[in-house]
Amino acid sequence: MFEVKTIDRFDLTDFAGDVFRTSNTDTPDAILVRSSKVDDRLISKRLLLIARSGTGTNTINVEAATANGTAVFNTPGVNANAVKELIIQNLFRCLRPLNGAVEMMKQLRVGPGEDLQEAAEAKRVDFIGEELYGRTLGILGLGTIGQRLADACYHMGMQVIGYNRSFKNLRHVQQLDTIDEVLEQADFVVVLLPLTDDTRGLLSAKQFETMKDTAYLLNFGRGDIVDNQAVVSALNHNEFAGYVSDFPKTILQDHPKITLLPHLGGNTIEALTHSANLILQNLLDFLEYGTVRNSINFPRVDLPFMSNQRLTFFFHARDNMWVDVANILNSYDLPVQEMMGNTQDGYGYTIVNTDLSTVSKERKQKLLSELDQIKGMLRVRLLNNPTQGEWQ
């Protein structure tokens, strides 16, 4: 039904993913990616969906996809535990100089008759650490990951404060009214926001001035939420103690107070497996059945496929939209066997189970073209029941 090919054939750099197409054409029906940027040139009329295995969708032009009638899917929450655990590991690393101690142990040699443990203990004064217990954790972005981190750190004895644009009724977090209040009070500030027009460059020189000089900033949201040049400058002026980022930039390399990771947040066997399974299921269900789950721009609609064919409609929600569709279906004497629809953020998605088995190919084309031309219609699809016939 769908071939899977790699995107390399498009010769678009900075992109690596799989595409799905129904015929031997360079224009894909669907694109599957992790964090790779989806080039806008791929959002052609033919493109039915973009599937992002993972959470952040800042590498996809969702607005352009929506206007094109292309569904965008992601797998929110599946890597939240992986990110939470990596952040906790890094909180400990900020206070306990484990890397140095392990390195020292690799180098340490004792002579005949000397005791290695004794020699090691003589060196441990260089590796005295501090404890997380009783310290204040500030979380910017109290979503799925932020809440899990808050619960775990609260149970380790930390005070947890946070900022989110909407109020969240959370048991273990004192939610503050401004980012600045969090920055002033926290010993650790963890960024867990999405990258949007509102959050790009949100943390810069002015914000760093308000931080404690002993505080650490950990960015597991997205690199561009933080002004990297301002980070380097603030650290050079001892405005805060250290920066940990999951999003490497050359300007941050080699600074003694900066720790860079190669975007490891969701990089566990569990998260990757779970995410890949979920996104593939959602992708195939949409391509073959028109079912929508976990889409960020299409409303959720899941109707059992009990007919020979079904029509799916994605449109700008407006008064009388359905009257216009129904008039055309009636003029073709099409039975509406079952139907389900939903709206979200001004867009509607409707599935109609029907039977076109007696309608000629030419009339089907004419029907689809008339439905396509309805004012506000963004995408019409005709699907054959995969368990009852061949793909058309």
Ligand X SMILES: NC(=O)c1ccc[n+]([C@@H]2O[C@H](COP(=O)([O-])OP(=O)(O)OC[C@H]3O[C@@H](n4cnc5c(N)ncnc54)[C@H](O)[C@@H]3O)[C@@H](O)[C@H]2O)c1
Does 147 contact ligand 3PG by CB under 6 A?
Answer: no
Environment class of 103 (CB within 10 Å of its CB; exposed 0-12, middle 13-18, buried 19+): exposed
Does 56 contact ligand 3PG by CB under 6 A?
Answer: yes
Does 312 contact ligand 3PG by CB under 6 A?
Answer: no
Quote the least distance from Cβ 152 to ligand X, whole Å. 14
Does 138 contact ligand 3PG by CB under 6 A?
Answer: no
Structural Rg of the chain based on CA atoms: 27
Instruction: State the binding partner of 273 from ligand X, ligand 3PG, none, CB within 5 to 8 A by kind.
Output: none
Q: Select from 93, 249, 263, 364 the one that contacts ligand 3PG (CB under 6 A).
A: 263
Q: Select from 20, 32, 35, 163 the one that contacts ligand 3PG (CB under 6 A).
A: 35
Residue type, 42: L
Quote the least distance from Cβ 27 to ligand 3PG, whole Å. 25
Q: Show the DSSP H helices in the chain as ranges.
A: 62-67, 80-95, 98-107, 116-123, 144-155, 179-185, 205-210, 228-236, 269-289, 321-331, 361-372
Quote the least distance from Cβ 202 to ligand 3PG, whole Å. 17
In Å, the largest CA–CA distance within the chain is: 98
Window 78-117: contact mask with ligand 3PG (x via CB under 6 A): -x--------------------------------------
Quote the least distance from Cβ 51 to ligand 3PG, whole Å. 12
Region for 134 from its dihedrals, namely left if φ exceeds 0, alpha if ψ lies in -120 to 50, beta otherwise: left
CB 215 within 8 A of CB 239: no
3-state SS of 164-230? CCCCCCCCCCEECCCHHHHHHHCCEEEECCCCCCCCCCCECHHHHHHCCCCCEEEECCCHHHECHHH
Residue ranges in contact with ligand X by CB under 6 A: 55-56, 76-77, 79-80, 83, 141-146, 164-166, 192-196, 198-199, 220-222, 246, 263, 265-266
Q: Which residues bind ligand 3PG (CB under 6 A)?
A: 34-35, 54-56, 79, 263, 265-267
